Chain A
Amino acid sequence: DEDFERRDQRYKGQQYSHLYYCRLHKFREVLGSIVQSSLPRVPVSPILGLKDGKRCVVIGTVYKQMKLKPSILDEYAKERTKPLATASSFMHSEDYLVLEDASGRVKLVGSMIVPSNYVTGIVIAAWGQGGKDGDFFVRQIIEPGLPPQSPLPSITGKPACPYLKFRDKYVALVSGLRIGSDHCNPLQIQLLVDHLTGHLGDEQEQMLSAQVVRLIVAGNSLDVQYNLLAGQAISAKDQARLTEPVKELDIVLTQVTAAMPVDIMPGANDPANFTLPQQPLHKCLFPGASAYSTFLSATNPHRFELDGIEFLGTSGQNVDDLEKYSEAKDVIELMERTLRWRHIAPTAPDTLAGCFPYTDKDPFVLDTCPHVYFCGNQKSFMSRLVTGMYIWKLVRAISIPRFCDSGTAVMVTCSDRLFVGFQHR
């Protein structure tokens, strides 16, 4: 999590150009070596050096020119000619891609390019030739691909308890508790807590609960009533209504923290900062739970390691934004794309509202590939094994459904096959 913590960085009025520069610089090296190995005789050319008909590779950041993308300047346009876009998708058939590097920009054309599969902010290499109109006719797009992954540890040793049938450890993932909202069902949350702490069921069920070693709460645990924060003085009754959900969440977390390590991540609606990477929720919100050493307030995105298995996940803002600006058959495909682009939130300063303007690095670039990649606050539970070009790079991608809507939490085993089971309450 250290990469995502803000620590000494201060906002001094800098712009986002540094973030994009760091991103392009990092990927140029990666893509340069990939291009050299796969297309050895093709030169890499700066965009300004493109000539008609000359075949070369250009490396740059993609910018997707979208007709329906909301722009602040539309308010000043004399004629409202912009066609209406739905709130959930800004795609249009006339969108096109522009590739931009340090020297210039060029429009990408060709049938190989399907603009709906790409978003602004990814760095790719394009193999093709310069066209007559100054466009670049693309033959092949080269993406960075899955980053290097450390090998999975193999399960060795005898089980701790001879009665235990399965030696596996489970990690429980839940998101979207939304305590304090109208659709939240406190009974469901209490059932989940009882199950995790082993207060439910017969001996066999309790054995299963005993194997759960960690709980990750992936965002949107609270539903703060923002309409009460209208800027006027808050009455005592309203104050109680504001703090009630937080106290309830603290009680829930204290029960679980007493049993196992708990990591809580902030989400889009939680009382944390708005810009990504979101900083950990403050300990003062959880006076009961933070007394335990097993309690960890984590950043969003959250990266941790358990028994040699690397986990990485977000509270869902990155994937929700990708859904608005690109097309994919499901959420897992979007997550797979972020892995192949080696960037957790490529739309970050552009449309994904709020990204801290780092000057020296881009924290969302993936240097190593996680073994389990999760994303919270999605519509439904989905899971798939994502493979890289070489069969030994495997990532288990999981989309965690909202608990307030589905009542479902996800459990992942830490074994070789990363088999996933889910609990429905």
Chain B
Amino acid sequence: MATKLTSVLKPRKKGMSPQKKKKKIILSDADQAIGASEKRVARALVYPSASSTDVAEDEDDVEEMLRQFDLDAKFGPCVGLSRIERWERAQRHGLCPPQNIRDVLERVGGEPNCLWEGRV
């Protein structure tokens, strides 16, 4: 059977409150009794982001763009390499990775490693 490789982390959309996230969580009755704030904390632990939840939206945008680059299957696996190394490898292989990612990593100073670095 052809199986689909799904991405673990669906990117967070701007302006969405935590309750409206698209991840399906099958909750048992006991879980539903847990309050909303505790759920938010639990979600924050499951999806730790590079920046804290109440930082400026600019950093969120940058991180969002870098995560899209991480998850792009065309450039290969993202774990085990720093983002710049992965960009350079993509360029060496002739895949024309977007130049703005490189600029962001060098000048604006986005997170150098992908989300799962050191965790997998």
Contacts and interface: CB of A to CB of B under 8 A. Distances in A.
Interface of A: 12-15, 17-18, 21-22, 25, 47-48, 50, 102-106, 133-134, 357, 359-360
Contact of B2 (A106, A357, A359): A106
B76 to A, nearest CB: 4
A359 B80 contact: yes
Nearest to B3: A104
Contacts of B93: 22, 25
Nearest to B120: A15
B81 A104 contact: no
B80 A134 contact: no
A128 to B, nearest CB: 14
B101 interface: no
B65 interface: no
Contact of A359 (B5, B73, B89): B89
The A contact surface, by secondary structure, is loop
B1 A18 contact: no
Contacts of A359: 80-81, 85, 89
B81 A14 contact: yes
A18 B2 contact: no
A103 B73 contact: yes
Contacts of B1: 133-134
A12 B76 contact: no
Nearest to B92: A360
A25 B94 CA distance: 10
Interface of B: 1-5, 73-74, 76-77, 79-81, 85, 89, 92-93
A21 B77 contact: yes
B59 to A, nearest CB: 26
A48 B93 CA distance: 24
Given A13-B80, A360-B92, 4 more contacts: A17-B77, A50-B2, A104-B4, A105-B3
Given A25-B93, A103-B73, A360-B89, A15 B2 contact: no
16 contacts: A13-B80, A15-B77, A15-B79, A15-B80, A17-B80, A18-B76, A21-B76, A25-B76, A48-B4, A103-B4, A104-B5, A106-B2, A359-B81, A359-B85, A360-B89, A360-B92
A18 B79 CA distance: 9
B87 to A, nearest CB: 12
A50 B3 CA distance: 11
Given A47-B2, A104-B3, A105-B2, A18 B73 contact: no
B62 to A, nearest CB: 24
B63 to A, nearest CB: 23
Nearest to A25: B93
Contacts of A50: 2
B57 to A, nearest CB: 33
A47 B74 CA distance: 14
Contacts of B92: 360
Of B77, B81, B85, most buried by chain A (CB within 10 Å of CB) is B77
A25 B74 CA distance: 9
Of B4, B80, B85, most buried by chain A (CB within 10 Å of CB) is B80
Contacts of B4: 48, 103-104
A99 B55 CA distance: 45
Nearest to B90: A25
A159 to B, nearest CB: 47
A15 B79 CA distance: 8
Contact of A134 (B2, B73, B74): B2
B73 A102 contact: yes
Contacts of B79: 14-15, 17
Given A25-B93, A359-B89, A18 B77 contact: yes
Contact of A103 (B5, B77, B81): B5
A384 to B, nearest CB: 35
Contact of A48 (B2, B74, B81, B85): B2
A393 B82 CA distance: 42
Of B3, B4, B5, B85, most buried by chain A (CB within 10 Å of CB) is B3
Nearest to B117: A13
A109 to B, nearest CB: 12
B2 A104 contact: yes
A70 B74 CA distance: 33
Contacts of A21: 76-77
Of A50, A105, A357, most buried by chain B (CB within 10 Å of CB) is A105
A105 B81 CA distance: 25
Of B2, B4, B77, B93, most buried by chain A (CB within 10 Å of CB) is B2
Nearest to A49: B2
A18 B3 contact: no
